[in-house]
Amino acid sequence: MAKPTIITESSPALEAEEAPVTKKSPVAGPLGWADDRLGLAKLGRGNLRKVFPDHWSFLLGEVALYSFVILLLTGVFLTIWYKPSMAEIEYAGSYQLMKGIPMSEALSSTLNISFDVRGGLLVRQIHHWAALLFVAAAFVHMLRVFFTGAFRKPREVNWLIGVGLLSMSLIAGFAGYSLPDDLLSGTGLRFVDGLIRSIPIIGTWAEFFVFGGQFPGDIIIPRLYMVHILLVPGLLLGLISAHLALVVYHKHTQYPGPGRTENNVVGYPLFPVYMAKAGGFFFVVFGLLVLMGGLFQINPVWLYGPYDPAKITAGSQPDWYMGFVEGAIRIVPNWETHIWGTTWSWNVFVPGLGMMGLLFGLLAAWPFVEAWLTGDKREHHVLDRPRNVPTRTALGVAGITAFSLFMIGGGNDIIATRFRLDLNAITLFLRVAVFVLPVIAFLITRRVCIGLQRADKERVLHGSESGIISRAPDGGYSEPHLPISVDEQYTLTSHLQHAVLEAGPTADENGIRIKQKVSPLRARLSRWFLEHDAAKPTAAELEEAASHGVGGVREIEAAEARALEESSNR
């Protein structure tokens, strides 16, 4: 049989099966070996040159990230020796004052870490301080994002991730706070038991489900341990990874300034500048936490003793991030309702679970609420100056005021004893203040922001004060102003100002009812949110200001010449 002719046209199937040509990496050694197999050079070539803006407020998120890393490192150390068991034993460790006292294995192992494990107490305290710093940095970071409008399109999903991170951090902090099983942490667990039981209809069932029976049961510590070292850290790690991935994808936000637009990022590259700064800052945070762990005592469980449901620690306080919940419950009157044989404890459920749900619900909804109020659907990569959005800034300050008042309520007994005040008087004051002071703070903040907006407009139009007082021939005094730089003018006038939404007609020219694009309610709320903004200078006003600026310089030069002539005559 004759041989078939050679096929010169390659088929798609054969082409797909051909092995790709592998290019040898230009880097030698282990990095070259990894690059040949993983393509790290191509991946890193673009990402290592990613630009990050240079502003101190961006470090707040880094503090939270580095605190989380330190929490993971110290948590692994503590996990080796901690025993998550509520089995009762007699303490036989080296702390003589508690020898022979019955306690759980959880507390015994905590005391063992503190007194018998080399460096254990230092690591315990670093871990606790890092937890407090992590939540504090996350709080302040979210406030920065809120006040500067960094949650706007296209970063709404990243804001929701941030809300999830904040809520998960509270759960992780509370679970870790409860693990030692001492009298203070047991008091906190009793508080949460009351919150769970206050849930209408299902409260008792939920308590039995969480605690495995009546409080305190014998399984809550192992369950909290699982939540603290496995469930919540896994969720936090995933959310942090998604958060950072979206930061890379959307590029970094930046503050207004010359050369900074919605289409670029002005700053330093990741490698080598930002990476060196970030690495150094990590060790600054680590060193600070080591100093705090070594110098400032926190959570001395050996002073509290083992948990006993019949006892309570005098002056017990939760970690600061849960103080607002306890404060809200303390100041609410004893409101209860009995319906069909069931008790509805509004005085615990509403200020406890209800307020936390309201807080995180409002935080999650705010990006979409503000977009609805302004009608803004554009992408934003340049941040707002808080003064340029006075209503949003005022709402944030009002929320901080209410949060602070609830925190004060959480320590009303400490305040009463330390300052020799009446506890009931403090409680009555806070019941009124949580409704009055946030409103006052809102009004004052909005007026301050509007005043700062007008001051910026005056500075753009009339320049900066020169500090030279001139006297006119008619005896009047004036101070000529110096024109500000073009860069400063751009910074003060580059922000967007939204027009107030107006409600459309309800019917057409034939009297037929039509669907409104903007409802009357939305129009009223938009007017409340936007109408107080001070208008930016117009182009005509800027041109006139430029001519006045030249005159101002001439007036200053003339005044300086007169002063020099007078001094020489003397």
Residue 422 to residues 48, 136, 413, 415, Cα–Cα distance (Å): 60, 31, 9, 9
Q: Which residue intervals of 198-231 are DSSP H helices?
A: 203-211, 220-226
Work out how many domains the chain is built from and give that number: 2
Confidence tier at 232 by pLDDT (50, 70, 90): very high
Do 116 and 94 form a contact (C-beta atoms < 8 A)? yes
pLDDT digit string (tens) for 280-299? 999 999 999 999 999 999 99
Predicted local confidence at residue 296, as pLDDT:
95
Give backbone dihedrals phi and psi of 338, rounded to 5 degrees, phi first.
Answer: -110, 115
Does residue 220 form part of some domain? yes
The answer, yes or no, to whether residue 133 has pLDDT greater than 90, is yes
Does residue 4 form part of some domain? no
The answer, yes or no, to whether residue 41 has pLDDT greater than 90, is no
pLDDT digit string (tens) for 109-129? 999 999 999 999 999 999 999
Predicted local confidence at residue 243, as pLDDT:
95
Q: Mean pLDDT over residues 469-485, rounded?
A: 80
Predicted local confidence at residue 22, as pLDDT:
54
Query: Is residue 427 within a helix (H) or strand (E), and if so which, with residue range?
Result: helix 423-462
Q: Mean pLDDT over residues 163-183, rounded?
A: 93
Q: Which residue has the tokens 């303490």?
A: 91
pLDDT > 90 in the chain, percent: 52
Q: Mean pLDDT over residues 167-173, rounded?
A: 93
Q: Mean pLDDT over residues 440-460, rounded?
A: 93
Higher pLDDT, 429 or 46: 429
pTM: 0.86
Instruction: State the DSSP code for 418.
Output: H
Tell me the C-alpha distance between 250 and 161, whole Å. 14
Predicted local confidence at residue 140, as pLDDT:
95
Confidence tier at 12 by pLDDT (50, 70, 90): very low
Do 229 and 79 form a contact (C-beta atoms < 8 A)? yes
Q: Which of 39-48, 340-349, 405-414 has the lowest mean pLDDT?
A: 39-48
Q: Which of 58-72, 100-114, 473-487 has the lowest mean pLDDT?
A: 473-487
pLDDT digit string (tens) for 234-274? 999 999 999 999 998 888 899 998 888 888 888 888 878 88
State which of 210-214, 447-451, 454-458, 501-505 shows the largest mean pLDDT. Answer: 447-451
Confidence tier at 395 by pLDDT (50, 70, 90): very high
The answer, yes or no, to whether residue 214 has pLDDT greater than 50, is yes
Tell me the C-alpha distance between 457 and 438, whole Å. 29
Does residue 555 form part of some domain? no
Rounded to the nearest integer, the mean pLDDT of the chain is 86
The answer, yes or no, to whether residue 5 has pLDDT greater than 50, is no
Does residue 283 form part of some domain? yes
Q: Which two tokens stand for residue 222?
A: 């192992």
Q: Which two tokens stand for residue 114?
A: 């503190």
Q: Which domain CATH number covers 214?
A: 1.20.810.10
pLDDT digit string (tens) for 453-473? 999 988 888 888 877 887 877
Q: Which two tokens stand for residue 214?
A: 């009546």
Does residue 164 form part of some domain? yes
Does residue 159 form part of some domain? yes
Do 389 and 366 form a contact (C-beta atoms < 8 A)? no
Q: Mean pLDDT over residues 394-411, rounded?
A: 94
Rg of the chain on CA atoms, in Å: 32
The answer, yes or no, to whether residue 566 has pLDDT greater than 70, is no
The answer, yes or no, to whether residue 325 has pLDDT greater than 60, is yes
Domain extent for 515: 500-535
Predicted local confidence at residue 466, as pLDDT:
76
Predicted local confidence at residue 132, as pLDDT:
95
Predicted local confidence at residue 251, as pLDDT:
87
Confidence tier at 508 by pLDDT (50, 70, 90): low
The answer, yes or no, to whether residue 20 has pLDDT greater than 60, is no
Predicted local confidence at residue 450, as pLDDT:
94
pLDDT digit string (tens) for 21-39? 555 656 667 767 777 777 7
Does residue 232 form part of some domain? yes
Q: Mean pLDDT over residues 324-328, rounded?
A: 92
Higher pLDDT, 14 or 174: 174
Q: Which of 469-478, 484-493, 551-560 has the lowest mean pLDDT?
A: 551-560
pLDDT > 70 in the chain, percent: 86
Tell me the C-alpha distance between 26 and 46, whole Å. 17
Q: Mean pLDDT over residues 537-541, rounded?
A: 80
The answer, yes or no, to whether residue 354 has pLDDT greater than 50, is yes
Beta bridge partners of 343: 338
Does residue 518 form part of some domain? yes
